[in-house]
Structure 1
Amino acid sequence: MRFAVLGSGFWATEVHSASLAAHPEAELVGIWGRDEAKAVAAGARHDVPGTADLDALLADVDAVSISVPPSVQPDLAVRAAEAGCHLLLEKPVALSVPDAERVVAATTAAGVASVVFLTYRFREQTASWLEQASRSALVGGSVTWLASTFAADSPFRGSVWRAEPGAPLWDLGPHALSLMEPALGPVVAALGTRAADGTVNVVLEHEGGATSTHTLSASASSLSAGEEFWVHGDAGRLVLLPPPEGSAHEAHAVAVTELQAAALTGGAHPCDAGYGAHQVRVLAAAEAAVAAGARRQV
C-alpha cells in the first residue's frame, strides 16, 4: 500500500515517516507539509519527494498517515477520504465534536478504512494486559500521567496547541481512554477539577458502574514525570508498565499493518474514526465538567 505522510514536524518525521520508510509491506511515497521547505527536508531524509501540493499527492497514494495539530487534522482527513485514501489518524481526531463527526461522515461516505494511532493500543504488552483484564471482575482503574512537555529537552516544547490550558486532557487523555475503556467499558459521565499548575484531575464513570481516575499534567517537573496505569478488581491490581523509549516506531508499524488489513477486508477497526469521535465526546464532557465543577454526561 502506497502511503503519504501529512505533516513535517517532529512526530511526523521521527515516527510516522521513519516507520513507513522501514515497513516491509508499505511504501512511503511522499511527505506533505504546510511549509514546503520543511516538507522537502523531511522527504529528503527518506529519499521521497516533499511537497505542499496536497491534491497531487493524494491522487498518487492509497493511504495517508496524518501527523498535524488536531485543529488542522479534520480538514485534511476529509480531503484525503474524499480522494479515496485510507486514514491513519493522530489523536485526538479533532478538538470539537462537530469536527470529529465530519471525519466519521467522510470515511463512511467514501468507504475507506480508518485507524487512530493510539500508541499504547498497538503494543503486544497492552493486548496481554487487556486480555487479563477481560478475565477479571473489575471495579475501577487509575491513570497518572505527569509529563514535562515544555522542558528544555522535550521535542514537544514548541508545540503551540499543547500550550493551551486544556491540552493535558486532550493530549494525554486519548491514550488514557484507549486503555481504560476496553478494560472498564465506555465512559458515560465525567467530573473533575484543575489544579493551580494546570494539572487536570478527572473521575470518569463507565457503563456498568466502574470508575476510573485520571491525573494528567503537561507541566510536571522532570523529577516528577512518569506514567502509571492500573485497573483493579477480584484479581487484584493489574498494572500496565509504560513502554520503553523509542517504541513508538514499532507501535506505528503495527497500526499501519492493521489499517491495511481493515482496508483489504472492509472490516471496522476497534480504534477507527468512530472511536476517535467517541473519545472527543468524552473529552468535551470532561472539559465541561472541569470548567463547571459539576458532573457532565457524555
Structure 2
Amino acid sequence: MRINAMLHSTNRWMSLLLFHLVYYSFITDAGLSRSSGPQFGSTEESVTVKEGETARLPCRVLHLKDRKVTWLRRRDLHILTTDQHTYSADERFQIVHEEGTDLWTLVVQYAQLRDAGIYECQVNADPKISRPVTLKPSQTSSMRNNKVFIANNTASTKDGDLRVHIKGAREIFMEEGSSLTLTCLVTSLYGPATLIYWYHDTQLMDYNSPRGGIKMQMDHERGETTSRLTVRNVRTEDSGMYSCVPSGSHPATVRVHIHEGENKAAVQQGGLDETSSSSAVSPASLLFVLVCVYTSTKPLHSPTF
C-alpha cells in the first residue's frame, strides 16, 4: 500500500511538472513571437525646419520582415508613400530607405507652413501599428526672403552644368482679369530636371491649382525640362516676384505688375507693347490730317459763272 501511495504521489508531481513545462513553453514561444514582430525603434517625435528647407521625418521599424511601411497625413488621411513607392501628386514628398537598414524617412522638400501637422508611420502588422511624427515649419526671416528673390530671369550653377531661364522680360505688366503664363526652361548636362517648383514671393505654387496650375514637359535628348505656370483671372494681389526653382540650382525670377481696370496702361504680358505705347504717326496719316485742317480753315469762295 505504501509503495502504491508513493507511486501515485510521484505520478502526480510528474503530471504537475509536465503541465508547467508545457505552459511556460507556450508562454515563452508566444512572447518570442510577439517580440520578433514589427516594432518601432527610438526616433524623434517632432521635426522643426525653416520654411523652404527640407524636412526629414524619421521612422525606425525593427523586425519588419515581409511587412510594409506606409506614411500618411493625418488631417486628410492621404496616403503619401507605401514601401518605396510615392502616391502623392505633390512631388515634394518622397520616401528614403537604404537597403538593409531599419530607417524609413519621409522627406518633404521646400517645406511650407501649410505642411504643418501630424504624419503617421504605419506598419501592416497584425494588429496594425503606427507612430505619429509632428512637422513644424517656421517662417523664414524677411532678410532671407529678400536675399532669395532678386529679379533675374536667368540663373545657373557655378559650374554651369544646370541653367534656368524664364522666357520673356524680367518685368511683366498686365491688367486685372488677364491670364498670366510663365515658361521656365531648365537645361542640365545630367538629363532633364524632374523637380521644378514655382514660388509667388515666398508662397509655393500649387501644381493642381483651379486657376491654372503647373505643367511639365521633358526632352531627354537635349536634357531640357519645360515648366509652364498659368494663373487665370489675375488680381492685384497676384503682383510680385515669381520664381522658377529647380532642385540643386538658384532660382530664376521675374516681377509681375497687375494694374486695376481696363485700358489704364498700354501694357501686355511680357513687357510694354511698343506699338500700342508709341505715339508715332505714319507720314500718310499725318498728310491726311494736315489736308483736313487746311481745308477746314480756308475761306469759302462763291463759285463764279
Larger radius of gyration: 2
In the superposition, the TM-score normalised over structure 1's length comes to 0.27
Higher relative contact order, structure no. (Cα contacts within 8 Å, ≥ 6 residues apart): 1
In the superposition, the TM-score normalised over structure 2's length comes to 0.27
Higher helix share: 1
